[in-house]
Amino acid sequence: MFSRTYRAALAAVLTTSAALALSASAGAADPRTFLGTPDPVVLQAFNPSTNEGYCNGFTAKVTFTDVNQYAIHTRTAPNGDITLQITGRARATVTNQTTGKSVSFNISGPGTAVFDSAFNILSADAHGPNLFWTEQQHSSTGVPFISYTTGHVTFTVDRTSRDTTSYTLAGRRTDVCALLA
């Protein structure tokens, strides 16, 4: 389940709550759809024999501690791809499961993400503070495997291989694995 490339806190919120966004009625007085709080996400330690995982030496757990986010625009393409524009407030804590050391982040975005019909993220265009992660096997972009960003960030993911094919950041990024090591 966590072998998908480039997921973000934004993506986690969307992935776990996309059905809510898609079921919003067109005639509702409030066009926003509350996305709810996603379940914690466990990011397995990097395994050099399989080249899978995230942080070297420890499993990380992402817990969403304060989420008040909404989909303000939802569009479904003829091929089933879903575009969600997200706004609102969100915070997450990332914990090193070996040492118990943790760090908390404001991950309020906002941003727009595109998912395929199975809710695998295909691209994102995000502003402000966000938390992104990608398995080491899928990253050829040189970005940290768990990355806290501030500023404008965009990325795309290959639909078939799940590899990150582009990544740009006009802002700052922090290597969360290094913070927690």
pLDDT reported for residue 147: 94
Evaluate if residue 133 carries a pLDDT over 50.
Answer: yes
Evaluate if residue 13 carries a pLDDT over 60.
Answer: no
pLDDT reported for residue 52: 86
Q: Torsion angle of alpha carbons 124, 7, 66, 176, nearest 10°?
A: -110
Hey, where are the domains in the chain? 7-180
Beta bridge partners of 93: 63, 104
In angstroms, the Cα distances linking 164 to 5, 97, 127, 178 are 7, 26, 19, 21
pLDDT reported for residue 173: 93
Evaluate if residue 54 carries a pLDDT over 50.
Answer: yes
pLDDT reported for residue 8: 42
Evaluate if residue 69 carries a pLDDT over 60.
Answer: yes
Q: How confident is the model at residue 142 (pLDDT cuts 50, 70, 90)?
A: confident
Q: What DSSP designation does 140 have? A: -
pLDDT reported for residue 26: 47
Evaluate if residue 138 carries a pLDDT over 70.
Answer: no
Name the pTM for this structure. Answer: 0.81
The phi and psi torsions of 20 (rounded to 5 degrees) equal -65, -45
Instruction: Report pLDDT digits (tens) over 85-129.
Output: 999 999 999 999 999 999 999 999 999 999 999 888 899 999 999
36 contact partners, CB below 8 Å, separation of at least 6: 13, 16, 17, 20, 67
Token pair 């990325």 is found at: 155
Beta bridge partners of 62: 41, 94
- In single-letter form, the type of residue at position 41 comes to V
d(CA 102, CA 18): 28
